Amino acid sequence: MVRKTKLVLVKAKRPQLRKAARRDWSKTKARTFLSALAGWRFIAPIEGMTAYVRSSSVWAVYRTGAWELGILRGSNVTIGGQQVIGARSSAIAGPTGGSVVDTEVRSAVGQILNALRLHGLIET
């Protein structure tokens, strides 16, 4: 999901500081600000800038002029040193033919293939 929105990074502990930051925020065209010792620092986001959005527990990445919220991009997912998800595989045909037709197995295999397609793991 791509949202053309402002990303607010507020780390102030006291509510009145957060309110002051939001009030200052409305006066600037910058899209991101940070709390610093000398006050709030307003900065324009740059391509690839990343921030954690605590309110929704997702990462946001600034791409092509907009913040992408909750989208992970990469070539694979590796857990424990072993790749568990990679590029999408080609389509797999459902079961057909054969000398013995087991409708329950065919139904189960069809449901598995549909789930893989819905999750984008294989082509349709």
Half-sphere exposure of 54 (CA within 13 A, CB side): 4
Intra-chain end-to-end CA distance of the chain, in Å? 22
pLDDT digits (tens, 9 = 90+) for 66-90: 888 899 888 988 989 988 888 888 9
Cα(96)–Cα(42) distance, rounded to whole angstroms? Answer: 62
pLDDT grade, residue 3 (50/70/90)?
very low
**In the chain, where do the E strands start and end?**
2-3, 32-36, 39-43, 50-53, 58-63, 66-69, 77-79, 82-85
Q: Is the pTM value of this prediction over 0.85?
A: no
Q: Are strands 77-79 and 50-53 parallel, antiparallel or unpaired?
A: unpaired
Which tokens is 79 given? Answer: 């857990």
Cα(39)–Cα(20) distance, rounded to whole angstroms? Answer: 10
pLDDT grade, residue 16 (50/70/90)?
very low
pLDDT digits (tens, 9 = 90+) for 20-49: 555 554 555 445 666 677 776 777 888 998
